[in-house]
């Protein structure tokens, strides 16, 4: 599309300032008016003084109507896609030079807002709800499949699943020195929740001689690290039978099966009935998926953490996580304080961690920081 053919939209007075500071979302109520655009169309954003601000793609639904792709009138072509993907790849190869498992594209933080892509050796799993990426799927395919070592792609777009290349039925991966089975077609979201890859090793540090609960264990990565660290026993609890089957297989692949017990039930129920543990990991799915759910999610997190604190032996360790965007760091801290008060036990915060560095945070967009991982000692 030529520059002259690209539609333009004009912001209200002074609404360009946040965008110019590096925030990549344009809200619908910030515009004087919008041209007639189809979902996924590219358009140029101008200030009320008619100065160019950014090039974005249009979203037909929701409060965010534009996601910024460039602060220049860059042509969105093969060269654009190739540069974004290559720049992101260089960072991951620097971060993990001996690994082919990583978050390759982390949405806004890698200049492709609304798109995430994880690499699992020869397989790349992508996810987006933005029609823009569905429209450019062919370009993404061509560039990704040309990268040495990549042979198949899976793209989850809303309710649609698109595939390209020859996908293996099952892979055996190595991550943090552990062997893992991976089913590209059956993974939740983009796969293994790689944002925790460096935090999993915390379980290893506190595991020697410990009885461990891996709550919401999914494929058992927290528990596997604890077992390698010398845990006496590991109980993996999850409500998904498929996830538990993979976790059990992973334990066997690393010769830890004798120390694992797997239980299919909600971790909240397990904590009401179980005996005490020395180390508990809570890594639940997001309880708050919108701002309206924030208060209810806060209460759920508080009750869950309070139950875990009560089931820890004196001096026991709680690793508590939240991936809810709408429960920010300050609210997470307050939730932990209230949970501790409700147990009438002293609780020490040893450290607070975020996501692995292949999930970078864009400093101009606090929304790109979402994962909280607290390590607490309960006296």
Any idea how long the chain is? Answer: 379
**Cβ atoms 271, 208 nearer than 8 A:** no
323 has catalytic annotation: yes
Q: How does DSSP classify residue 285?
A: P
d(CA 371, CA 369): 6
Which distant-in-sequence residues (6+ apart) come within 8 Å of 189 by Cβ?
Answer: 127, 156
Among the options 26, 130, 216, 323, which is catalytic?
A: 323
Provide the H-helix boundaries in the chain. Answer: 16-20, 78-95, 131-135, 137-145, 200-206, 221-228, 241-253, 267-273, 294-310, 329-343
Can you read off the two tokens belonging to residue 119? 């690499």
- Quick check: helix, strand or coil at residue 88? helix
**C-alpha 24 chain-centroid distance:** 19
- Quick check: helix, strand or coil at residue 36? coil
Catalytic site positions? 323
């Amino acid at each position: 599309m030529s520059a002259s053919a690209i539609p333009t939209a004009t912001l209200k007075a002074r609404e360009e300032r946040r965008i110019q500071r590096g925030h990549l979302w344009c809200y619908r109520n910030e515009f004087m008016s919008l041209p007639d655009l189809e979902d996924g169309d590219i358009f140029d954003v101008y200030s009320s003084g008619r100065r160019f601000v950014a090039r974005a793609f249009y979203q037909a639904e929701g409060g965010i109507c534009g996601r910024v792709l460039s602060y220049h009138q860059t042509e969105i072509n093969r060269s654009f896609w190739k540069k974004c993907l290559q720049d992101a790849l260089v960072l991951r190869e620097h971060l993990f030079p001996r690994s082919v498992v990583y978050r390759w594209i982390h949405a806004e933080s890698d200049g492709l807002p609304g798109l995430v892509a994880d690499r699992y050796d020869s397989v790349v799993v992508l996810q987006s709800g933005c029609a823009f990426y569905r429209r450019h799927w062919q370009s993404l395919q061509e560039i990704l499949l040309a990268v040495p070592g990549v042979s198949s792609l899976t793209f989850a777009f809303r309710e649609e699943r698109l595939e390209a290349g020859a996908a293996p039925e099952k892979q055996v991966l190595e991550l943090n020195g552990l062997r893992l089975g991976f089913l590209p077609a059956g993974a939740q979201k983009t796969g293994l929740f790689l944002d925790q890859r460096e935090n999993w090793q915390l379980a290893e540090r506190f595991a020697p001689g410990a009885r461990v609960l891996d709550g919401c264990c999914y494929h058992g990565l927290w528990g596997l690290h604890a077992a390698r660290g010398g845990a006496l026993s590991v109980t993996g609890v999850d409500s998904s039978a498929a996830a538990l089957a993979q976790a059990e297989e992973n334990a066997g692949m690393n010769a830890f099966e004798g120390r694992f017990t797997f239980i299919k039930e909600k971790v909240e129920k397990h904590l009401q009935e179980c005996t005490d543990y020395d180390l508990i990991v809570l890594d639940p799915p997001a309880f708050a998926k919108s701002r309206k759910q924030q208060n209810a999610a806060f209460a759920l997190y508080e009750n869950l953490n309070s139950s875990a604190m009560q089931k820890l032996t004196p001096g026991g360790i709680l690793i508590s996580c939240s991936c809810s965007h709408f429960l920010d760091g300050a609210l997470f801290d307050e939730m932990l304080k209230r949970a501790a008060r409700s147990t009438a036990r002293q609780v020490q915060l040893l450290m607070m961690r975020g996501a692995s560095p292949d999930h970078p945070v864009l400093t101009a967009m606090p929304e790109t920081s979402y994962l909280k991982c607290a390590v607490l000692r309960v006296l």
